[in-house]
Amino acid sequence: MPAPAFRLEGLVKSYGGRRVLDLESLEVDAGSVWAIVGPSGAGKTTLLRLLNGLEKPDAGRIWFFGQELTAANGLPALEVRRRMTMVFQTPVLFTATVAENVAYGLRVRGVDQGSVARRVARALDLVGLAGTERRGARSLSAGEAQRVSLARALVVEPEVLLLDEPTANLDPANAAIIESLLRRASGEMGVTVVLVTHNLFQARRVADHTGFLLDGRLVETGPTREFFERPADPRTRAFIRGEMVF
Amino acid sequence: MTEALRLLVSLDPELWGIVLLSLGVSGTAVLLSALLGVPAGAALALWEVPGAAWVARFTYTLMGLPPILAGLVVFLVLSARGPLGHLQLLFTPTAMVLAQTLLVLPIVTGLTLAGVRSKDRAIRELALSLGATQWQAAWRVVLEARRAIGAALMAGFGRAIAEVGAVMLVGGNVRGHTRVMTTAILLETRQGNFEVAIGLGLVLLAVAFAVNAAFYRWQEGA
Ligand SMILES: Nc1ncnc2c1ncn2[C@@H]1O[C@H](COP(=O)(O)OP(=O)(O)OP(=O)(O)O)[C@@H](O)[C@H]1O
Ligand SMILES: [Mg+2]
pLDDT digits (tens, 9 = 90+) for B146-178: 989 999 999 999 999 999 999 999 999 999 999
Q: Which of A65-74, A151-160, B194-203 has the highest mean pLDDT?
A: A151-160
pLDDT tens per residue, range B42-96: 999 988 778 888 999 999 999 999 999 999 999 999 999 999 999 999 999 999 9
Cβ of A197 closer than 6 Å to ligand 1, yes or no, is: no
pLDDT value at position B14?
Answer: 86
Q: Is B33 helix (H, G, I), strand (E, B) or coil?
A: helix
Output the residue whose Cα is nearest ligand 1's atom 28. A41
Rounded average pLDDT over A136-164: 94
Nearest to A92 among B126, B132, B133 (CB): B126
**B63: closest CA among B107, B26, B105?**
B107
Q: Which residue has the higher pLDDT, A107 or B211?
A: A107
Report how far residue A133's alpha carbon sits from residue A33's, in angstroms, rounded to the nearest whole number.
30
Q: Is residue A90 in contact with ligand 1, taking CB distance under 6 Å?
A: no
Report how far ligand 1's centroid is from the alpha carbon of A45 (Å).
7
Task: Give the CATH number, domain containing residue B197.
Answer: 1.10.3720.10
- Ligand 1 closest atom vs CA A198: 25
Res B52: pLDDT: 86
Q: Which of A20, A36, A212, A217 to mutate to test the pocket of ligand 1 (most atoms within 8 A of CB)?
A: A20
Cα A164 to middle of ligand 2, angstroms: 7
Q: Do A152 and B133 make contact, defined as CB atoms within 8 angstroms?
A: no
CA–CA–CA angle A215, A220, A225 (5° rounding)? 135
Give me the domain span that covers residue B88: 2-44+53-221
CA distance A94 to chain B (A): 7
Q: Which of B127, B129, B143 sits opposite A52 (nearest CB)?
A: B129
Helix (H, G, I), strand (E, B) or coil at A33: strand
Give dist(CA A202, CA A3) in Å, integer: 27
Average pLDDT rounded to a whole number, residues B99-109: 97
Interface touch B131/A88, C-beta < 8 Å: no
Ligand number nearest to the C-alpha of A42: 1
Nearest chain A residue to B140 by CA distance is A94
Q: pLDDT of B18-56, one tens digit each?
A: 999 999 999 999 999 999 999 999 999 988 778 888 999
Nearest CA to ligand 1 atom 5: A15
B140 Cβ under 8 Å from any chain A Cβ? yes
User: Which of A97-101, A150-154, B12-16 comes out lowest in average pLDDT?
Assistant: B12-16
**Is B128 in contact with A54 (Cβ distance < 8 A)?**
yes
Q: d(Cα B107, Cα B90) in Å, to the nearest integer?
A: 24
Q: How many domains does chain B fold into?
A: 1
Sheet holding A59-64, edge to edge: A18-28, A6-15, A59-64, A67-68
Buried residues in B163-200 as b, exposed as e (16+ CB within 10 A)? bbbbbbbbbbbeeeebbbbbbbbbbbeeeebeebbbbb
Total Cβ atoms within 10 A of residue A177? 16
Report in angstroms the alpha-carbon separations of B47 from B35, B106, B149: 19, 18, 18
Q: Do A105 and B128 touch (CB under 8 A)?
A: no
Instruction: Return the higher-pLDDT residue of A138 and A70.
Output: A138
Please tell me the number of the ligand nearest to residue A43's CA: 1
Distance from CA of A216 to the nearest CA of B (A): 23
Percent of chain B surpassing pLDDT 70? 96
Distance CA A32, CA A2 (A): 13
